[in-house]
Amino acid sequence: MANRTTLTPQIELGSYQCAAGIDCVDVEIELTHRAQYWHLNDLVENVTARKEFPEALDLGEGKTATRYKLRVQEPDLEMVRKVIEAIGNKYGLTTAPSVAGIEISIDFYANKPSEAARARLHGVLIRHFFPTTRVLKANLMWPRFMPGGIKKTDYTVGRNESDDSMDIGNRMAPGTDRVPLYGSTYYLGECDDSRAFWRIQNKVFDKQNKAAGTRDKLADEKKRVRIEVTLGREGCREIGLEQFTDLEALGTARLQKGFFQFMKPTFAIVRPSAARPVSTAVKRKAEEYRRERFLNAGVVGLQIREDAREELRALEMPTIRKLHRR
């Protein structure tokens, strides 16, 4: 890339080990005979020795249903297969069980566990994660972190919904940016979105129960930095995941481009020009803004700036054309 430079993070990825896994899966089944959910749960519990609480999707007379969604945490696919077989043997299945959602995580463990090692990787993941800005269809999908440093939820790039011109300015200038805190969870997308919802966090607790106020503190060697994506029905179909049997062939390679993509930003090399000093100064300042935006809000924030710049250009183009016609 002529006249451009790439910003590369100072991190040795060989100093970390990663492990990918399925955190939970939503399987939908349709019975040939109506059944009450607690009878279904008893059947599931007999196979798994734990309650999974099937959700009735077409609840009717006598609190019975034919369509159910079964959410299985940390699924053992062979065990889920046995559950489906047991349900089919007792109530019958009209169609093959389908996958309505799945949560997949990638955990990064430092070879030499330390707060500094996790903090470094946490910053790298947030800054270089890039699912493209096409996913930002509404404000609720905007990149954010909780708890925030100023509010309960802080957005990495500011917005101004009451003034379109100010909104474009906020998206372009880094002055209102908020840098994600290390102790917060970073979110992108909307919870229960039909395609995808992402989280990045420093995971130091496990088995958290917010209702009961309980959680297990992890030992240092089990603490890790995690990125996870929750796919809805649309996201599942995008990676070829439709029926339960499709899970057997699921690999992270199919997820990488659309859901676990990372990129390094590039910046223009602005060389001094005695003939055009003002233009050079403007270009240099623009690249300073771009660098600051990347450090604050990552590659996603940088692309938000470029999208706003193109939007501003489109708004100003009619005026520019008029001036050229004079």
Task: Say what the pLDDT of residue 250 is.
Answer: 84
pLDDT at 188 over 90: yes
List Cβ neighbours of 154 (8 Å cut-off, separation of 6 or more). Answer: 144, 145, 146, 148, 178, 180
Where in 135-294 does DSSP place strands (E)?
144-146, 154-155, 185-189, 196-203, 205-209, 214-217, 224-231, 266-268
Kindly indicate the confidence band of residue 165, based on its pLDDT and cuts at 50, 70 and 90: confident
**266-287 average pLDDT score:** 84
- Percent with pLDDT over 70 in the chain: 94
The residue with tokens 């129960």 is: 209
The residue with tokens 């994600």 is: 180
**274-284 average pLDDT score:** 80
Q: How far apart are CA 100 and CA 43, in angstroms?
A: 21
- Where is pLDDT greater, at 160 or 26? 26
**308-318 average pLDDT score:** 81
Task: Say what the pLDDT of residue 255 is.
Answer: 85
pLDDT at 320 over 60: no
Which structure tokens are listed for 170? 């906020």
**173-177 average pLDDT score:** 91
Cβ pair 91, 32 in contact under 8 A: yes
CB-based burial, 271-288: b 16+ in 10 Å, e otherwise: eeeeeeeeeeeeeeebee
Q: How far apart are CA 48 and CA 51, in angstroms?
A: 8
pLDDT at 111 over 90: yes
- Where is pLDDT greater, at 210 or 323? 210
Phi-psi region of 164 (alpha: psi -120 to 50; beta: other; left: phi over 0): alpha
- Using DSSP's 3-state secondary structure scheme, residue 122 falls into helix
Task: Say what the pLDDT of residue 209 is.
Answer: 64
Kindly report the average pLDDT of the chain as a whole number: 89
> From the CB of residue 173, how many other CB atoms can be counted at a distance below 10 Å?
16
Q: How far apart are CA 288 and CA 176, in angstroms?
A: 15
pLDDT at 116 over 90: yes
Cβ pair 247, 24 in contact under 8 A: no
CA distances from 146 to 1, 36, 137, 201 (A): 37, 39, 20, 10
pLDDT in tens, 41-80: 999 999 888 887 899 999 988 899 999 999 988 888 999 9
pLDDT in tens, 201-255: 999 988 766 666 677 899 999 999 999 999 999 999 999 999 999 998 887 777 8
Q: Which helix (DSSP H) or strand (DSSP E) does residue 124 occupy?
A: helix 115-128
The 8-class DSSP code of residue 262 comes to B
Task: Say what the pLDDT of residue 211 is.
Answer: 62
End-to-end Cα separation, the chain, in angstroms? 38
**175-188 average pLDDT score:** 94
Least confident of 1-10, 223-232, 282-291: 1-10
The residue with tokens 């919870």 is: 191
Least confident of 98-112, 130-144, 266-280: 266-280
Cβ pair 57, 69 in contact under 8 A: yes
- Using DSSP's 3-state secondary structure scheme, residue 286 falls into helix
Task: Say what the pLDDT of residue 302 is.
Answer: 95
> In order of start, what are the domains of the chain with their CATH numbers?
13-18+103-263 (no CATH), 26-100 (3.30.70), 268-325 (no CATH)
Task: Say what the pLDDT of residue 159 is.
Answer: 86
The residue with tokens 């029926």 is: 243
List Cβ neighbours of 268 (8 Å cut-off, separation of 6 or more). Answer: 3, 4, 283, 287
